[in-house]
Amino acid sequence: MEEVKVYRVVAQYESKRRIIKIDTSTRLPIEDLIRDAFSLETRFVCHIKSLQAEILYTNEIEQGDEIIVTLLPEEIPSLEDGQVGANELNNSQEKIKIEEENFKDLKDARILEKDLLSRINLWANPLKFNMCFSEGIKSLVKGAKRTACCSIDKCPFRLFFLAPKIKKSDFESVDDIEYQLETYYAEHNHNLSLNTKNIFTPEVIKEVDLVKGCCETYQDVCEYINKKFQTNYTYQQISYQIGKLIDQNLGIPSEDANSVVQEIKKDVQLNGGYYDIELGNKDQLQKIIYISSHMLKYSEYFLDLILVDATYRRNRFNLPLINVCGVDNFGRTIMLGFALMNDEKALSYKWFFQRLKNAWNQDPKCIISDECAEIINGFLLFFVFFLFLRN
């Protein structure tokens, strides 16, 4: 019997934060877990912090995601006022289900990443709706995942594609990843009709490219574009277009990773410092640690207290970013080094701590991290290994 996995995500409501455990074998909404965690009685919505995308099902969430809980406005009609409440309004909308037989062509297809969106819309357009990607490629244990959604905002229709046992790092170009339809949620909450007004024209794409770096969030870009061109693009559509533009302007992430490695090598050769890398198949970047000459100088004086923490794959390479910070004699936070790693397993953290040891001339007096078991176990593995070498 296959072991049921449980995701641990962080939910935040105002200043309160809670760890929420989610059974991955179910696709039920997580509202009940949120409601119990914060003892909420009023209506609310949940968003993934980094994506600003509304959560619909638990399989939209990955391990380590941060969930932001937002109360809905009080002026929403309630049943107590003799009016229809928000949930009842949603339920009263006509739900249109795409029949099982319509999915046969997609189920039998094997589709490359570069053709995926056009192939999905080729299938969806005769059924009178458009599709877009709701997020980027996710590298999971079971393979590379792609999620496509209806282009109408807040419509629950989803297609979940999977490239089994495949990771993005296995390919020189992600365009070569081949997907198959894994599962889907087949209901729309609106009448079906093609929205040709929201097709991306060259003028719109040019404007997105101009403002993408000038706005604080992708949601701000979306609102600006919709206001200027009188369109109704969703956040997912704008986010996908920005991702394509970044790849066009900077090259694919694997090429960009090689540029990062070369720049770090050049800096260390010219100015001093420390770096180490680990490459995988086809020389794909797996791990890299970098300590500049200034950071290395800091380490000679300010290792009384260091903080080690990681972001969760929120960068161009889809790799956890490990930050090492300290405190100087003025009480200011200083950077002591950082690393990109292909996973957050204990052995990877052992690799990381070993490289820190190689770079620094002394041991830190105190190391602080969060409750991440992999960081703790990785340090313990390194500590035992270090004691063994000493003896």
Q: Can you give the CATH number for the domain in which 303 is found?
A: 3.30.420
Q: What pLDDT score does 181 carry?
A: 92
Domain boundary among 216, 250, 284: 250
The answer to whether residues 172 and 262 belong to one domain is no
Q: Which domain holds residue 226?
A: 196-250
29 within domain boundaries: yes
20 within domain boundaries: yes
374 within domain boundaries: yes
For every one of its 391 residues, what pLDDT tens digit does the chain have, with 9 covering 90 and above? 445 567 788 888 877 888 888 776 666 667 778 887 887 777 777 777 765 556 666 656 777 778 888 776 544 333 333 333 333 334 445 678 898 888 988 888 899 988 898 889 889 888 888 888 877 788 777 888 888 888 887 788 899 999 988 876 666 667 788 999 988 888 888 888 776 666 778 888 889 988 887 887 778 888 898 888 888 787 777 877 887 787 777 666 656 677 788 889 999 999 999 999 988 776 777 889 999 999 999 999 999 888 888 775 555 666 778 889 999 988 899 999 999 887 777 788 888 888 888 898 888 888 887 655 555 565 555 554 444 444 4
36 within domain boundaries: yes
Q: State the pTM of this model.
A: 0.44
Q: What pLDDT score does 337 carry?
A: 93
32 within domain boundaries: yes
The answer to whether residues 177 and 66 belong to one domain is no
- For residue 127, give every residue at least 6 positions away whose Cβ sits within 8 Å of its Cβ, in sequence order, or none: 98, 102, 192
Whole-number Å distance between alpha carbons of 159 and 131: 9
Q: How many domains are contained in the chain? A: 4
Whole-number Å distance between alpha carbons of 180 and 199: 25
State pLDDT tens for residues 91-140.
Answer: 445 678 898 888 988 888 899 988 898 889 889 888 888 888 877 788 77
The answer to whether residues 308 and 331 belong to one domain is yes
The answer to whether residues 82 and 133 belong to one domain is no
Q: Of how many residues is the chain composed?
A: 391
Among candidate residues 149, 148, 137, 119, the one with its CA nearest the CA of residue 177: 137
Q: What pLDDT score does 79 carry?
A: 32
The answer to whether residues 183 and 221 belong to one domain is no
Q: What pLDDT score does 92 carry?
A: 41
Whole-number Å distance between alpha carbons of 318 and 312: 8
Among candidate residues 120, 103, 100, 42, the one with its CA nearest the CA of residue 76: 42
68 within domain boundaries: yes
The answer to whether residues 261 and 386 belong to one domain is yes
The answer to whether residues 246 and 258 belong to one domain is no
Q: What pLDDT score does 5 carry?
A: 66
Q: What pLDDT score does 325 carry?
A: 92
For residues 371, 373, 378 and 381, what is the CA-based torsion angle, rounded to 10 degrees? Answer: 110
Domain boundary among 92, 121, 154: 92
The answer to whether residues 42 and 122 belong to one domain is no
The answer to whether residues 200 and 153 belong to one domain is no
Q: Is 2 exposed, middle or buried (0-12, 13-18, 19+ CB in 10 A)?
A: exposed
The answer to whether residues 118 and 200 belong to one domain is no
1 within domain boundaries: no
- Unique residue bearing structure tokens 């490629």: 137
149 within domain boundaries: yes
